[in-house]
A = this chain, B = another copy of it.
Amino acid sequence: MSAPLIERTVFVVSDSTGITAETFSNSVLSQFEQVKFEAIRIPFLDTLEKAAAAAVRINRCADEQGAPPLVFSTLVNQDIAHEIRSANCTFLDLFGTFVQHIETALGMKSSHSVGRSHMGGLTKQYHDRIEAINFSLAHDDGQFIHGLEEADVILVGVSRCGKTPTSLYLAMQYAVKAANFPLIPEDFDRGSLPATLLPFRKKLFGLSILPSRLAEVRNERRPNSQYASIKQCRHEVAEAERLMRMENIPWLSTTTKSIEEISSKVLAEIGLNRRMY
């Protein structure tokens, strides 16, 4: 694959955080590999004055790049949307395009209210999510073994295989209480799971990684250590996978996967259907 040849600025505009519009724009634009996109996020666009200023910025960009920029919008306020739409741009109205279909399907009108999905700092759901983050932090790397019975899932695997970011993502995005616990050389010598985990066998989910990748990651942390040597990494990974197979722990390899992919697969495997935030 050759390097991107074209650079284009895109705008992400929203009455609220702009997170939905940005997530969407990232996904859809990743299908245009020939272009390098720079996204300019304009969140909390909630007055006509701000909209006018944003329109000026969009027009200036159109002049500079000699092409109308793409604008991904989740604007709900129609007056503000109209102001942006009047700029020299390709306006992609994410909500408007679908709200009408959904209204027809449901046989009711939408409330046209702004930014409700990331609101509600005081709701029960929000509280559960903060609790899950606190839980995952407290139970990172096996540091706190009390309360494991409250865990929705306990990730296990060798040091630096991706347990911590995955646990935090599960907590942050899905309010899943995800603990994680390292499998270490002592466990392999003994040939069994850490005793602490035995009562929670059904909650265990394993992460593994290619030894060559593990050696890279560990070398950044502790260059040229025995811990980071390919020999040690091969040994630990082989032993961890053997243990997980022996104990019938479901597991997956994180080597080429993003935190999102790992988390999504873990949720699917453990059969949790949680609302995403």
Contact = CB atoms under 8 A, between A and B. Distances in A.
A70 B102 CA distance: 8
A229 interface: no
A17 B105 contact: no
A74 interface: yes
Interface in A95-136: 95, 97-99, 101-102, 105-106, 108, 110-113, 116-122, 126, 129-130, 133
A3 interface: no
A94 B137 CA distance: 35
A275 B20 contact: no
A90 B107 CA distance: 12
Contacts of A257: 121
Contacts of A2: none
Interface in A230-268: 254-261, 263-265, 267-268
A184 interface: no
A51 to B, nearest CB: 16
Interface in A49-75: 67-68, 70, 74
A22 to B, nearest CB: 5
